[in-house]
């Protein structure tokens, strides 16, 4: 069989494999990905029978895809530890605590129910970019090893809850509204919050991978409306929400106002400085507010701006020894002696609740102390795959003359009292724009300057 004719190249993305079930992602694809991954893992570890933790989310298509994937893994010689239906962080957790050489998660994350995907790690490190491309190349060329791997099953949820809850001791009870969005967080979050001593108001905490109440993406404010209302109605101190596989956190304060991922990251960083002393490093992505590096540096920390992408953030965290990293999107990784260093929104939510329990201030007061900037949401402009890189390079050259430009990921043009970001999406033929300034008038000026350049390049915004 010509493998290249039966596997769609576009499902192999920058950070994972992702497609529409029944169209370009099915059991046959999952089985071959499993064989390619296990073949790569054998090469990477030098082991004839490496051990792999496998889990899946609660989408209707996930169990069958997981079965096929496991068949491929075992067929290439890998021993599988199957942990069942879980949020993504539990696969990472199992890899850290169950002596495995890699981890594979079947999840569609925050995509619509008809989508699904495959996230992979090797020896505790997320694979992305060229490593994912190499899996497809192995499949197409038929460079797949054979073997006869074993299968072991373990329900790790209780052990995970015990581990995470054991890291927190609330100074006082905190009333928290928890919106699981019917995602796989529903299997863990309510019990975890009760285990740390929080008073829980649950929303959509029954597992249903068709997501009947709202889409499981906490970065979209519309999806947080029920949580906002519940916080106000039940007089909670905080509300937390998870994406479909619980590796991204959303939060609202006691008034039901959204607290973005970059400000949550800053709060965590300031708490770390209080506990550990000055000089702590924090990695943040180029989309984050200028408030974050400004306030964190003033408090004695070392902020490090880096590329967007949770896999890239974790690599930078490892490279710099930073105990904390995160993105505007809600991926937050806590490491050092506090946790394992992967993006776990369940742990992060406990961190936030614990932080509140140790303070006599409301979340709104904590955030209200930060300098005020106004900003746009992320603006996405469709272009061709080729032109997105050309436009970013042209912007780098254009704005370098007269402005400071940070170019770790696209171009972040600094205007003194604000900034504009132009970057190419790693996963789609899209330019990503975002602007921030001290006031609305300056924001409009910065936006006009940046988008004027784009229009001169023939890009319609």
DSSP at 235: T
Give the residue carrying structure tokens 């915004």.
Answer: 461
Among 18, 35, 412, 434, the active-site one is 18
Q: Is 136 a catalytic residue?
A: no
- Residue of 167, 356, 171, 322 whose CA lies nearest to 251: 356
CA dist 30 → 24, 45, 103 (Å) = 11, 22, 14
What is the sign of the dihedral through the CA atoms of 411, 272, 171 and 349? positive
Specify whether 310 is catalytic. no
Residue of 359, 355, 358, 350 whose CA lies nearest to 167: 350
Residue 386: strand, helix, or coil: helix
Counting Cβ atoms within 10 Å, is residue 370 exposed (0-12), middle (13-18) or buried (19+)?
middle
Catalytic choice (110, 260, 331, 442): 331
Provide the β-strand partners of residue 88.
none
Beta strands at 324-326 and 332-334: parallel, antiparallel or unpaired: antiparallel
| Pairing relationship of beta strands 374-375 and 411-414 according to DSSP bridges | unpaired
> Which residues, including other chains, have CB under 8 Å from residue 433's CB and lie 6 or more apart?
376, 378, 379, 380, 381, 420, 421, 422, 450, 451, 461
Exactly one of 61, 62, 109, 184 is catalytic; which is it? 109
CA–CA dist 28, 67 (Å, integer)? 11
- Beta carbons within 8 Å of 396's beta carbon, 6+ residues apart: 405, 407, 411
Buried b (16+ CB within 10 A) or exposed e, 421-437: bbbbbbeeebbbbbbbb
Catalytic, 109? Answer: yes
CA torsion 187-192-194-195 (nearest 10°) is: 130
Catalytic residues: 18, 109, 331
């Amino acid at each position: 069989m010509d493998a290249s004719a039966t596997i769609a190249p576009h499902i192999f993305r920058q950070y994972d494999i992702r497609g529409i079930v029944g169209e370009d992602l099915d059991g046959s694809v999952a089985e071959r990905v499993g064989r390619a991954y296990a073949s790569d893992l054998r090469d990477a570890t030098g082991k004839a029978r490496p051990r792999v933790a496998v889990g899946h989310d609660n989408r209707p298509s996930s169990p069958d895809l997981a079965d096929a994937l496991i068949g491929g893994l075992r067929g290439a010689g890998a021993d599988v530890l199957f942990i069942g239906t879980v949020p993504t962080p539990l696969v990472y957790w199992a890899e850290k605590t169950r002596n495995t050489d890699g981890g594979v998660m079947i999840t569609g994350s925050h995509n619509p129910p008809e989508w699904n995907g495959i996230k992979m790690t090797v020896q505790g490190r997320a694979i992305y970019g060229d490593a994912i491309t190499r899996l497809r190349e192995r499949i197409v060329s038929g460079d797949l090893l054979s073997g006869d791997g074993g299968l072991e099953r373990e329900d790790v949820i209780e052990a995970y809850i015990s581990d995470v809850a054991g890291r927190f001791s609330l100074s006082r009870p905190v009333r928290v509204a928890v919106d699981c969005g019917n995602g796989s967080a529903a299997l863990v979050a309510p019990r975890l919050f009760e285990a740390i001593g929080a008073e829980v108001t649950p929303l959509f905490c029954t597992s249903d991978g068709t997501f009947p109440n709202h889409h499981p993406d906490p970065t979209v404010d519309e999806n947080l409306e029920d949580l906002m209302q519940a916080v106000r109605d039940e007089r909670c101190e905080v509300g937390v929400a998870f994406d479909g596989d619980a590796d991204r956190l959303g939060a609202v304060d006691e008034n039901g106002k959204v607290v973005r991922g970059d400000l949550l990251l800053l709060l965590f960083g300031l708490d770390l400085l209080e506990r550990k002393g000055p000089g702590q490093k924090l990695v943040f992505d180029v989309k984050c507010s200028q408030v974050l590096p400004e306030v964190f540096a003033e408090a004695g920390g070392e902020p490090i701006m880096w590329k967007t992408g949770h896999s890239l953030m974790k690599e930078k965290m490892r490279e710099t020894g930073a105990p904390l990293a995160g993105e505007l999107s809600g991926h937050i990784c806590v490491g050092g002696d506090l946790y394992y260093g992967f993006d776990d929104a369940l742990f992060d939510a406990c961190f936030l609740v614990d932080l509140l329990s140790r303070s006599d201030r409301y979340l709104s007061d904590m955030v209200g102390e930060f300098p005020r900037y106004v900003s746009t949401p992320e603006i996405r402009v469709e272009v061709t795959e080729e032109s997105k890189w050309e436009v970013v390079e042209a912007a780098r050259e254009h704005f370098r003359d007269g402005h400071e430009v940070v170019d770790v990921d696209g171009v972040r043009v600094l205007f003194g009292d604000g900034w504009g970001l132009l970057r190419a999406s790693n996963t789609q033929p899209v330019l990503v724009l975002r602007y921030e300034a001290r006031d609305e008038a300056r924001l409009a000026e910065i936006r006009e300057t940046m988008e004027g350049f784009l229009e001169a390049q023939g890009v319609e915004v």
